[in-house]
């Protein structure tokens, strides 16, 4: 008998199980449309040249050491990350009502923020979009939220945003509910609200006294422009909302396994800042004590050097551009085959993903017969598509739609 015989089994994390299955598949035609990680046109991971450059400089800098960071991380990094999100000359930064906390990528920032809201600010209920990145529900549950609910987002019949449903659900949310919003490039649907829709969302959040918690994992990936992709967050901050925002540098810097992120906190005034920082310090101390330094050094170096910053913006543009190109090519190829249905949503959606609307049987058909890996909700990562496999993927989709109309 083991003391741990009582431990129950748990479901696999779908997206990581898919990656493993893809890696183990020996079929030369296999295609990975699963995990949201950028791939080159040769289906290879990409270390951004500007990141390599920064790493070389860091490796050759004898003044650097491996001493502990504080619980809140590297302050220069956190300030630069906060400025990148909120923009130059942002009033909240000038008023010193905004601060950043270095966290373990977007997930870590979401979790620190969730813990802070639950343990220190009394929030109990959270709403995430339906559908959303699956980890949202898990992490708010684990942070002890009493109720993790959903607001409508995807209109399956028309393959577009269910805006009326979204507004109605926010209207009916109890006061003081946390509302998780995707800053841009919504995962998994690739559909973002328009400027006017964001305004209406902000109106309801204000009127119903809800709390906006942004997840900004794809700044730069939606439009190729860092400023444009932060507009939703900046709009809320300019209107005077208090917000949290979890920023990830996994995608836009390609620093997936360095776990580098930032939790931006914007308050109405400076009064609660000292206590808030003290409580967040304890949350982090009691969890992982303090963050690692490699990722924050790279990001801070690039954000703090005008030339490297410019090079990085070019890298983002090229990643976003390739993805956009693949959207166009995939749609064209599917339409050229006369595949039944409407495929304009592939190019209407933005960011890393397309929510294809393929059904379960069609998806299984792609996996079983074409070695094309994608999650069961039909989300595809456009970064897995390239000029060599786009026709193959389109033909496979055409076949799946014909077999299982």
List the catalytic residues: 133, 215, 251
CB of 108 to ligand LMR, least distance (A): 12
Distance between CA atoms of 208 and 379, rounded to whole angstroms? 32
Enter the tokens of residue 244: 């949290």
Is the preceding omega at residue 352 within 30 degrees of 0, hence cis?
A: no
User: Minimum Å distance from CB 13 to ligand LMR?
Assistant: 8
Closest residue to ligand LMR, Cβ-based? 36
As a whole number of angstroms, the distance between CA 145 and CA 270 comes to: 27
| Phi, psi torsion values for 258, nearest 5 degrees | -90, -10
Nearer to ligand LMR, 187 or 333 (CB): 187
CB 246 → ligand LMR: shortest distance, Å? 12
The per-residue DSSP string of 48-93 comes to: -HHHHHHHHHHHT-TT---PPPPTT--HHHHHHHHHHHH-TT-HHH
Tell whether omega for the bond before 188 is within 30 degrees of 0, i.e. cis.
yes
Residues in contact with ligand LMR, shown as a per-residue x/- string from 31 to 70 under the rule CB under 6 A: ----xx----------------------------------
Of 378, 279, 315, the C-alpha closest to 18 is 378
Least spacing, CB of residue 66 vs ligand LMR, in Å: 27
Beta carbons within 10 angstroms of residue 368's beta carbon = 9
**Considering CB under 6 A, how many residues would be counted as binding ligand LMR?**
6
Q: What whole-number distance in Å separates Cα of residue 226 and Cα of residue 231?
A: 9
- Judged by CB under 6 A, the residue of 82, 125, 187, 356 near ligand LMR is 187
Q: Is 86 in the site for ligand LMR (CB under 6 A)?
A: no
Q: Between 35 and 205, whose beta carbon lies closer to ligand LMR? A: 35
Q: Which is nearer to ligand LMR, 36 or 224 (CB)?
A: 36
**CA dihedral sign, ordered 388, 391, 395, 396:** positive
Figure out which of the listed residues 99, 133, 163, 355 binds ligand LMR, where binding follows CB under 6 A: 133
Member of 15, 109, 178, 396 binding ligand LMR (CB under 6 A): 15
Nearer to ligand LMR, 16 or 56 (CB): 16
Residues 17-36 vs ligand LMR: string with x where CB under 6 A?
------------------xx
**Residue 247's beta-bridge partner residues?**
216, 262
Identify the CA nearest to 85 among candidates 68, 69, 109: 109
CB of 230 to ligand LMR, least distance (A): 19
Instruction: Give the residue from 332, 362, 277, 240 showing the smallest Cα distance to 72.
Output: 277
Main-chain phi, psi angles of 214, to 5 degrees: -85, 145
Q: Which is nearer to ligand LMR, 35 or 396 (CB)?
A: 35
Determine, following the binding rule CB under 6 A, whether residue 249 of this chain makes contact with ligand LMR: no
Of the two residues 133 and 145, which places its CB atom closer to ligand LMR in the complex?
133
- Taking a C-beta distance cutoff of 8 angstroms, is the pair 253, 51 a contact? yes
Q: How far is the CB of 178 from ligand LMR (least distance, A)?
A: 20
By CB under 6 A, name the binding residues for ligand LMR: 15, 35-36, 133, 135, 187
């Amino acid at each position: 008998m083991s003391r741990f015989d009582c431990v129950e089994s748990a479901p696999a994390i779908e997206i990581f199980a898919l990656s493993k299955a893809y890696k183990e598949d020996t079929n030369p035609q296999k295609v990975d449309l699963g995990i949201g990680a950028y791939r080159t046109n040769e289906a290879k991971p990409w270390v951004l040249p500007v990141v390599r450059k920064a790493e070389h400089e860091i490796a050759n800098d004898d003044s650097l050491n491996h001493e502990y960071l504080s619980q809140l991380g590297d302050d220069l990094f956190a300030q630069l990350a906060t400025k990148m999100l909120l923009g130059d000359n942002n009033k909240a930064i000038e008023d010193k009502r905004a601060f950043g906390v270095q966290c373990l990528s977007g997930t870590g920032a979401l979790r620190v923020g969730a813990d802070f809201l639950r343990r220190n600010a009394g929030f109990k209920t959270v709403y995430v979009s339906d559908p959303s990145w699956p980890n949202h529900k898990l992490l708010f549950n684990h942070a002890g939220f009493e109720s993790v609910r959903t607001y409508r987002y995807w209109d399956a019949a028309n393959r577009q945003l269910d805006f009326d449903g979204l507004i109605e659900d926010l209207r009916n949310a109890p006061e003081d509910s946390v509302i998780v919003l995707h800053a841009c490039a919504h995962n998994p649907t690739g559909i973002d609200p328009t400027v006017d829709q964001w305004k209406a969302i902000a109106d309801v959040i204000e009127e119903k006294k809800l709390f906006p918690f942004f997840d900004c994992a794809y700044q730069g990936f939606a439009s190729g422009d860092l400023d444009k992709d932060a507009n939703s967050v900046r709009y809320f901050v300019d209107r005077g909302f208090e917000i949290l925002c979890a920023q990830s540098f996994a995608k836009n810097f390609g620093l997936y396994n360095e776990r580098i992120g930032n939790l931006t906190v914007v308050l109405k005034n400076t009064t609660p800042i000292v206590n808030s920082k003290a409580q967040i310090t304890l949350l982090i101390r009691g969890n992982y004590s303090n963050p690692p330094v490699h990722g924050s050094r790279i990001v801070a170096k690039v954000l703090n050097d005008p030339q490297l910053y410019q090079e990085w913006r070019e890298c983002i543009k090229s990643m976003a551009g390739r993805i956009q190109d693949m959207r166009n090519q995939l749609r064209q190829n599917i339409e050229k085959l006369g595949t039944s249905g409407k495929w304009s949503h592939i190019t209407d959606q933005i960011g890393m993903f397309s929510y294809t609307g393929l059904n379960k049987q069609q998806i299984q058909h792609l996996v079983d017969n074409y070695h094309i890996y994608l999650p069961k909700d039909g989300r595809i990562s456009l970064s897995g598509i390239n000029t060599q496999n786009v026709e193959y993927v389109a033909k496979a989709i055409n076949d799946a739609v014909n077999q299982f109309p």
